[in-house]
Chains A and B, each alone.
Chain A
Amino acid sequence: MNDFDVREFNDQELMDLIHLYHKIEEYLKYLKESIIEVDSNDKAE
């Protein structure tokens, strides 16, 4: 067994951390998709 107390790893906290990771991924995906391309016609004028 590893020389640490597994009780320091609360199951719920571990799962929450994973959940947080996936949430950040989800928002990152949203952010990347929400960049608006500026219309070239707009630019030309």
Chain B
Amino acid sequence: MTKQNDVYIQSLERMKEQIENYPLKIFEGTKKVQKEYHIDAVNQRNEYVLKQISKLEKDLDIVKSLLVGKMEKLLPQLRSDDEKKQLDELKELENMFVFYNSYGDFFSKLGFDRIFFDMGHYDELDFDVILSYLCQFIETFKLAGVSLSSKDFSYSNYVQEFMCSFFSHYKNDDFQEQMKDVFDNIYWNCPNLVVHLKLNIYVLSFKYQKKLDQYCIKKMKGLSNLNKNDSYSFLSKYEKIRKDIKNVKLSDSYYIVQKFVNNDYNIDDFLETSDVWKQKFNQFLNDCNYDDMTDEERDDYFRELIQLKYMLYEFDNIKQYDELKKDISNRFNNTDKNMFKNKMKEIKKIESLKNKLLKKYYSLANKDNHNKYRDKISFLISEINEKINTLDTLYMELEDVRMTEKIKNSLSNGSTIYDAFCLVDTCYGYLKHFFETKMELKDSNKLNKMLEEFHEFVYSGFLVISKSVNIFQECSIVDMINHKCKLFHINLLINEEDNLDSIKKDLEFIEFLYYVGKCYLSVSQIKFICEVKTLV
């Protein structure tokens, strides 16, 4: 305690004594005199107390502004410029990501797989989304040098009718309203219009595959100086920036202080005298403890424990995606070499039947006396619809076959879990369908969140196990982790079925403890900031 503060607090104590010993009563004189004295004394005492209150309130304000001034000077600032720079860099890489990912094909790179899958689940889509997908499709083709017109949309008479209106209203101010009316009118005759549109899009995509492939290459070249062979270094850069952003959030003084201020952690647990942090650290040590270690040894242990934390998180995630791993393995081991050819043969047969029916339909519908053939026309329409429904199933099966082919062609016997996950990460339809069926998730928003989480996991930059474990071979990850623990004298032995939540939480605490130790502010200074924050 400074001498000045000490003197001040002593003066407060003296003031208190003075108030408590203030003579409020006399025993001489008449009762009236005694009462008058008492009233007078109480008033005088109150007056003194009020004066002291006013003085102390001023003093309190002075001390408070001193505290706030010091706190604000100590409080680390958010390095928003640096952070913005990193986020801008990530955004730029995100835009390039699909084009640099060597696992993706034109269908995924141009977002057509998303259109194909989502339009297959049109009952969950707003009409505006369907319309925006069609616009996106047409504009992408235009960029690839293919100018589509209504003639390209002839998959069914309904598609033709819808797309004729589409192109005649395209880019008009009332485009959306007009198209909504057109859609509503056709919908009563053909509730499956979105499926017809989807199949037309699919067929067009593969008809122009060569041009679209060239466009993807051109686009990739235009995005940076890197060439296709630099895909690996691009992905490393992409992962690094994601990792750096996460590390800043963990190690930057601003975020460290915020975690205490927001009560995510209790600053008292981090004081030198606290047993909490020491116990959490020591529980992972074999035959030694924090106090007996050199700074260098402590640093080594911290680093190993932090790495262990990431391994346990990774292990839990790999377990979560176990079914996905199995599905990839099964597809890789599929020995049917003619799957694609056979499926295409089936499709071609039905497509040809459908086209014949469509031709017959137009020849009757375009006649002047077409009313005479109303029954025949109705019959043809129902036949066409039936064929298109069959084709819808067949094209979905074809997509499934394409996925199997992609796995067989892109992966090898030596592929790691990471390789396989990078591959399926590019396959929106496959992954979404997989999570939808295997994880029984129906909510589209939740499914999209799962896809995002999967992408975050694969490209977190922290993966160690997935990058070294072969996807097709039985390998006990638990043994790997236990081996690492043994090697680095970490007191931890886990089993396959263990719930690791509390261990992960303790390791997270240790990671935070490490960064608190590296922070330029002392724990006492952070405690000071937290305490002053509660006062203002």
- Given contacts A14-B525, A19-B5, A27 and B16 within 8 Å (CB-CB): yes
Determine if B15 and A27 form an interchain contact, defined as CB atoms under 8 angstroms apart. yes
Determine if B528 and A32 form an interchain contact, defined as CB atoms under 8 angstroms apart. no
> Of all chain B residues, which has the CB nearest A20?
B5
Determine if A11 and B49 form an interchain contact, defined as CB atoms under 8 angstroms apart. no
Determine if B531 and A18 form an interchain contact, defined as CB atoms under 8 angstroms apart. yes
Determine if A35 and B49 form an interchain contact, defined as CB atoms under 8 angstroms apart. yes
B contacts with A, residue count (CB < 8 A): 46
A-chain residues with CB within 8 Å of residue B522 when the two chains form the complex? 6, 11
A-chain residues with CB within 8 Å of residue B76 when the two chains form the complex? 1-2
Mark A19-45 against chain B: 1 for CB-CB distance below 8 A, else 0: 111011101101110111010001101
Determine if A16 and B524 form an interchain contact, defined as CB atoms under 8 angstroms apart. no
**Chain B, 495-536, CB within 8 A of any chain A CB:** 520-522, 524-525, 528, 531-532, 535
Nearest CB on A from B526, distance (A): 10
Determine if B67 and A15 form an interchain contact, defined as CB atoms under 8 angstroms apart. no
**Chain B, 4-32, CB within 8 A of any chain A CB:** 5, 8-9, 12, 15-16, 19, 24, 32
Contact for B525 among A6, A19, A25, CB less than 8 A? A6
B-chain residues with CB within 8 Å of residue A34 when the two chains form the complex? 19, 49
> Of all chain B residues, which has the CB nearest A32?
B53
Nearest CB on A from B287, distance (A): 34
**Stretch of B36-44, B304-312, B382-390, B427-435 contacting A (4+ beta carbons < 8 Å):** B36-44
- Given contacts A27-B15, A45-B32, A17 and B521 within 8 Å (CB-CB): no
Quick check: is B341 within 8 A (CB to CB) of the other chain?
A: no
> Of all chain A residues, which has the CB nearest B531?
A18
> Of all chain B residues, which has the CB nearest A8?
B73
**Chain B, 63-117, CB within 8 A of any chain A CB:** 63-64, 66-67, 70, 73-77
B-chain residues with CB within 8 Å of residue A4 when the two chains form the complex? 73
Q: A residues touching B (Cβ–Cβ < 8 Å)? A: 1-2, 4, 6, 9, 11, 13-21, 23-25, 27-28, 30-32, 34-36, 38, 42-43, 45
Pairs A-B, 9 closest by C-beta atoms: A11-B524, A14-B528, A24-B60, A27-B12, A21-B63, A31-B53, A28-B56, A36-B42, A20-B5
- Given contacts A1-B76, A11-B524, A42 and B8 within 8 Å (CB-CB): no
Alpha-carbon separation in the docked complex, A18 to B57 (Å)? 15
Determine if B60 and A25 form an interchain contact, defined as CB atoms under 8 angstroms apart. yes
Determine if A28 and B525 form an interchain contact, defined as CB atoms under 8 angstroms apart. no
Alpha-carbon separation in the docked complex, A13 to B528 (Å)? 10
- Given contacts A14-B524, A28-B60, A20 and B43 within 8 Å (CB-CB): no
Nearest CB on B from A38, distance (A): 6
B-chain residues with CB within 8 Å of residue A21 when the two chains form the complex? 60, 63-64, 67, 535
Q: B residues touching A (Cβ–Cβ < 8 Å)? A: 1-2, 5, 8-9, 12, 15-16, 19, 24, 32, 35, 38-39, 42-43, 45-46, 49-50, 52-53, 56-57, 59-60, 63-64, 66-67, 70, 73-77, 253, 520-522, 524-525, 528, 531-532, 535
Alpha-carbon separation in the docked complex, A14 to B74 (Å)? 11
Determine if B12 and A9 form an interchain contact, defined as CB atoms under 8 angstroms apart. no
Alpha-carbon separation in the docked complex, A32 to B56 (Å)? 11
Determine if B70 and A38 form an interchain contact, defined as CB atoms under 8 angstroms apart. no
Alpha-carbon separation in the docked complex, A19 to B66 (Å)? 13
A-chain residues with CB within 8 Å of residue B16 when the two chains form the complex? 27, 30
> Of all chain B residues, which has the CB nearest A33?
B49
Determine if A16 and B2 form an interchain contact, defined as CB atoms under 8 angstroms apart. yes
- Given contacts A11-B525, A21-B60, A21-B535, A6 and B53 within 8 Å (CB-CB): no
Nearest CB on B from A10, distance (A): 9
Alpha-carbon separation in the docked complex, A14 to B24 (Å)? 41
Alpha-carbon separation in the docked complex, A16 to B16 (Å)? 21
Determine if B253 and A1 form an interchain contact, defined as CB atoms under 8 angstroms apart. yes
Nearest CB on A from B271, distance (A): 11
Determine if B56 and A38 form an interchain contact, defined as CB atoms under 8 angstroms apart. no
Contact for A43 among B8, B39, B59, CB less than 8 A? B39
Determine if B45 and A17 form an interchain contact, defined as CB atoms under 8 angstroms apart. no
Contact for A2 among B9, B35, B42, B77, CB less than 8 A? B77
> Of all chain A residues, which has the CB nearest B11?
A27
Determine if A24 and B2 form an interchain contact, defined as CB atoms under 8 angstroms apart. no
> Of all chain B residues, which has the CB nearest A43?
B39
Alpha-carbon separation in the docked complex, A35 to B59 (Å)? 20
Alpha-carbon separation in the docked complex, A11 to B267 (Å)? 15
